[in-house]
Amino acid sequence: MIRTVSDEARRRAVNAILDRRRHVDDPDLEKATDDPLDLVNYVLKHQRASRKAIRADVLDALTLLEWARRRAAVVLGTLDRLEHQLLELGITVGLQLTEMGVPLGCRKTTVHNRLMRGRAVQAGLPSNEKALRAQHRGDVWFAANAKRLIEVANQLPPYAEFVDDEEEEFADGLYELGESLALLSSTTTSASSPEVAVADYPQLRIITARLRVIIREITAPEFEVLRAKLDQPLKELTTLTVEHSAVIEYA
């Protein structure tokens, strides 16, 4: 929900930022204007002021953003990006989420969700809170189960040579699984350490998705002989991938 900010509140926020910067003799003040969005960008780019002044600037800048959501002709994604940058700046200078929730008209939990969503967008991760939490659950699952998943999955690619020529596409899937496994770091693939590298989580998601496809396709009648050869690893991989699917499921 967008908080309604009056023009008078917008003027007070603009004047407060400019007066504050004059008071601390901001050397960049000549670059500031009284345009609300320009001033938000100014707060983000020019921080040669005390932490106390910047904290107050962030709160006033958040007020200006809320005003802009209803009044300014600007792409909403731009406002979301600016808001995230202000929240990150606020955290850096010591503001509490509760404090930043006041100008946004929301509670601490909502500020936290917006902050996490912005970080997800920057990292190329799901921006939807439910999807982000589901992915986090999946990553926790990988931390506990990736070693075993990798160990069993590595048994499949060599069997690509046993696939008939007319089933070349399935064989390619096995080869691609092998290539995906080979991209994992030594930290994650090492049997001597329980550590799973966080940087490998995206690749582990790809590997798990490939395994689901292989497990589904190998149930076809033409792969009866291959299924018999891979009976035990397929059973274990089916259990593991079903577990992972259940963990990341969200409504």
- pLDDT tens by residue, 79-131: 888 999 999 999 989 999 999 999 999 998 889 888 877 877 776 666 566 77
What's CA 218's distance to the chain center, in Å? 33
Residue-wise pLDDT for 216-246, tens only, equals: 999 999 999 999 999 999 999 999 999 999 9
Kindly give the residue spans of alpha helices, DSSP state H, lying in the chain: 7-23, 36-45, 51-71, 76-92, 97-104, 108-123, 129-153, 168-182, 186-189, 201-217, 224-229, 231-248
| Contact by Cβ (8 Å): 129, 113 | yes
pTM of the model: 0.54
Reference 135, options 183, 184, 187, 205; nearest CA is: 205
User: What's residue 126's pLDDT?
Assistant: 61
